[in-house]
Chains A and B, each alone.
Chain A
Amino acid sequence: DGGITQSPKYLFRKEGQNVTLSCEQNLNHDAMYWYRQDPGQGLRLIYYSQIVNDFQKGDIAEGYSVSREKKESFPLTVTSAQKNPTAFYLCASSRGTSGSTSTDTQYFGPGTRLTVL
């Protein structure tokens, strides 16, 4: 059963703590993405990775970090430097990133809701 999994579904963090959100895919996709969703807003890109051991900053990377040591996994760390981390975080993957073919179609995981206490 192929797909994208994210864990945990709900995460609570105290101020000043770092937390790591997990994202795993078994679709054999090269590219993976992290988005942040706030109420009433569209998705904003945090980081993306086109290939293993490489990643790029998206539009709102400050206060976040990622790694891509394995093709299947793209964990996101929300650091204490992120001033307003409470949000819904979505991971996605695609076969390609050319910007011009249907292989760029992104598929999403179920999301992690992070709340800062």
Chain B
Amino acid sequence: GEDVEQSLFLSVREGDSSVINCTYTDSSSTYLYWYKQEPGAGLQLLTYIFSNMDMKQDQRLTVLLNKKDKHLSLRIADTQTGDSAIYFCAALSSNTGKLIFGQGTTLQVKP
């Protein structure tokens, strides 16, 4: 079945770059998303990439997609304490129209 996997935890120092990785299984995935969730809040859409793109940059965020390996990454440059949150990767299936979520990566930013 469709599955999305992420590592559960990442800790970085303020000012460093953070890289959060994600793998997915559904080769029919058309769009891949990154959402951010702060404690007690809903999911905030950060960015997304279409499956025929390799890279997308948006200010401090860079998304890299390796479609052959079904691997997605989110790089946050100059990580700040305000970036501390849970980051969810999600893949949109063209077969079902459903969004499949990973279990989330908790990013801890140390001052």
- Chain A contacts to B: CB under 8 angstroms: 4, 6, 40-43, 45, 48, 58, 90, 92, 97-102, 104-111, 113
Known contacts A40-B103, A42-B4, A42-B88; is A102 also within 8 Å of B48 by CB? yes
Other-chain contact of A97, B31, B40, B97 (Cβ < 8 Å): B97
The 19 listed contacts between A and B (C-beta, < 8 Å) are A4-B42, A40-B8, A40-B103, A41-B103, A42-B4, A43-B88, A43-B101, A99-B30, A99-B97, A100-B30, A102-B31, A102-B48, A104-B99, A105-B31, A105-B45, A106-B99, A108-B42, A110-B41, A111-B41
How many residue pairs link A and B with beta carbons under 8 A? The number is 63
A108 touches B31 (CB 8 A): no
**Chain B window 1-35, contacts with chain A (Cβ cutoff 8 Å), 1 for yes, 0 for no:** 00010001000000000000000000000110101
- Chain B contacts to A: CB under 8 angstroms: 4, 8, 30-31, 33, 35, 40-45, 48, 50, 88, 92-99, 101-104
How distant is the Cα of A110 from the Cα of B88 in the complex, in angstroms? 16
* Closest A residue, CB atoms, query B88: A42
* Nearest chain A CB to B105 CB, angstrom units: 11
A90 touches B92 (CB 8 A): no
* Nearest chain B CB to A115 CB, angstrom units: 13
* Closest B residue, CB atoms, query A111: B42
Chain A residues whose CB sits within 8 angstroms of the CB of B88 once the complex forms: 42-43
* Nearest chain B CB to A75 CB, angstrom units: 17
How distant is the Cα of A40 from the Cα of B44 in the complex, in angstroms? 18
B97 touches A113 (CB 8 A): no
A90 touches B42 (CB 8 A): yes
Chain A residues whose CB sits within 8 angstroms of the CB of B99 once the complex forms: 45, 104, 106
Known contacts A42-B4, A42-B101, A105-B31; is A99 also within 8 Å of B41 by CB? no
